Structure 1
Amino acid sequence: MRTTVAKQARAEQTRLLLLDAAAVLLHRDGYAATSMVDISREAGVTKGGLYFHFSSKDEVCDEVQEAAVAVLRDYVDQRSASMPALHRLAGLGRELMGWLEHDPTVGASFRLAREMGSKDERFAAFSRAWFAQVRRYLADARAAGELTADVPLDTTALLVLVTCVGLESVVAGGTIGAEVDLGRTLGELWRLIDPGRLAPASPVRGRTG
């Protein structure tokens, strides 16, 4: 029994190593430039070991996105429901910018959506989950009277999405320098869009790494 448990633990550790390696490569190099051989080499796992856990690159991508969605869910679950919904929304935006800089699973998921989402919606799983959470926060804000009835929720959610995705894209594409503090820049952009409705309630957190 002890031997079986040890084997299961090693197998799970190998699986996590492979997912971590895949996230790093997909974030850095993109879908087309990342092969199963690259993933196994980056993880230090044999190709046979990789195929024992994953049958295809798309399956790896699915699980990388599942890990990113788990990061999102964990963050949302830790937010106090008593906090104003728009402050929770602003905090989520700042957190997303931090994830894009420091969490390869989220960075890889965003890149997968950008490069592959139009070909197959499975590659937009994390982006869709994040957008749905933005929409929920806006609905909560409407219900709590933080937004007036004339503010269109879908259009406002789209504005938040475009702002965040656009900021990530211009950094990823080299239009602006990689040294830009994404969280602080997002806060400044939101204050320009609407000084009262989407501005953070507290100073924007700077870089942690």
Structure 2
Amino acid sequence: MDQVRQEKARRTRGRLLEAGAELFDRSGYAGATLGEIAAAAGVTKGALYFHFTSKEELAGAVFAQAERSLRAACGSRRTATSPLQALIDAGHWLADALGSDPLIRAAFRLGREGDWQCTGGSGPGSGAGPASDSGAGPGSGPAPGSGPGSTDPHGFHGFHGFHGVWAGITGDLLAAARRAGELRGRPDAPGPGPDTLVVTAACGLEVVLADGCPPEERARRVGALWDWLLPCLVPPGAVGGYRTGPPALGPA
């Protein structure tokens, strides 16, 4: 019986995360209410409060789940190929996720909105006082995404929220590519110019791909970005060793 209850609770929590992501993506943090989220998940408001004590806690859980998905996707690609190819493939994964996964879209929107974020921290999180159902102010829960990688170890201080998470992952993969000798220049002498260019371009994918374009167009845009970037990053003659299209279109 305990296992049955645990499985039911797990499914309910999953539905709440999905419904919360859909509403946060559609209406923003302030516009989404707990009543609407509970109704969309097919549960009572009391059941919602059993899993999440506030709207901020639910938003933090959405953000954290999206971060776990992004890190898992990038990690699996990094172990299967070179760091630079993994970065290219991660961009294609993100393009697909922006079209199909409301958790990823919601995390980007939550990261852009400042009414629930901690202005003094490295990621979205706690403010002063509990959040109301109407989203009138920031809450007091722990900062989602405040673990390793949510800080800014590469010095890209202009990126915050989920863009900051993605920028950190991009910087990590670039640093690994440099250590592996994939990039121009000495492995121990990173240049801020190329890194800043790549991270800025990668973070801009969320804006460029947010217009509802079809999957084929998303893949084309990501591939076109890397067709331009690769000759600036890798030694002469090495461009042909990388695939700029999505993994399904060619060998890794």
TM range (shorter): 0.7 to 0.9
Q: Residues 46 and 202 (structure 1 numbering): CA distance in 2 closer, same or farther, change over 3 Å?
A: same
Structure ranking higher in helix proportion: 1
Select 1:202's aligned residue among 223, 231, 243.
243
What residue number does 1:163 align with? 201
**Alignment coverage as a number of residue pairs:** 202
What residue number does 2:51 align with? 53
Q: Residues 101 and 154 (structure 1 numbering): CA distance in 2 closer, same or farther, change over 3 Å?
A: farther
Select 1:103's aligned residue among 76, 101, 104.
101
2:25–2:102 contact (8 Å) kept in structure 1: yes
2:181 equivalent to 1:145: yes
What residue number does 2:221 align with? 185
2:36 equivalent to 1:30: no
Give CA deviations for 1:9-34 in whole Å, capped at 9, x if unaligned. Answer: 11111111100111111122222211
Q: CA deviation at 1:119?
A: 4.5
Matches of 1:75 and 1:201 in 2, distance apart? Answer: 19
Q: CA deviation at 1:203?
A: 5.5
Higher relative contact order (CA 8 A, sep 6+): 1
What residue number does 1:122 align with? 124
Q: Residues 67 and 185 (structure 1 numbering): CA distance in 2 closer, same or farther, change over 3 Å?
A: same
Q: CA deviation at 1:161?
A: 3.5
| Structure 2 portions without partners, runs of 5+ | 126-159
Q: CA deviation at 1:78?
A: 1.9
Q: Which moved more, 1:72-81 or 1:18-27?
A: 72-81
2:170 equivalent to 1:134: yes
Matches of 1:37 and 1:154 in 2, distance apart? Answer: 47
Matches of 2:115 and 2:179 in 1, distance apart? Answer: 32
Q: Residues 29 and 155 (structure 1 numbering): CA distance in 2 closer, same or farther, change over 3 Å?
A: farther
Matches of 2:29 and 2:101 in 1, distance apart? Answer: 17
What residue number does 1:70 align with? 68
2:98–2:209 contact (8 Å) kept in structure 1: no
Q: CA deviation at 1:168?
A: 2.4
Q: Where has structure 1 moved over 6 Å in runs of 4 or more? A: none
Q: Which moved more, 1:34-43 or 1:73-82?
A: 73-82
| Structure 1 portions without partners, runs of 5+ | none
Q: Residues 134 and 60 (structure 1 numbering): CA distance in 2 closer, same or farther, change over 3 Å?
A: same
Q: CA deviation at 1:194?
A: 4.0
**Identity percentage of aligned residues:** 35
Matches of 1:128 and 1:24 in 2, distance apart? Answer: 22
Give CA deviations for 1:131-166 in whole Å, capped at 9, x if unaligned. Answer: 221111111111111112378455444333432433
TM-score, with structure 1 as normaliser: 0.82
Q: CA deviation at 1:205?
A: 3.2
Give CA deviations for 1:67-118 in whole Å, capped at 9, x if unaligned. Answer: 1122122213322546222111111111111111111111111111122389
TM-score, with structure 2 as normaliser: 0.69
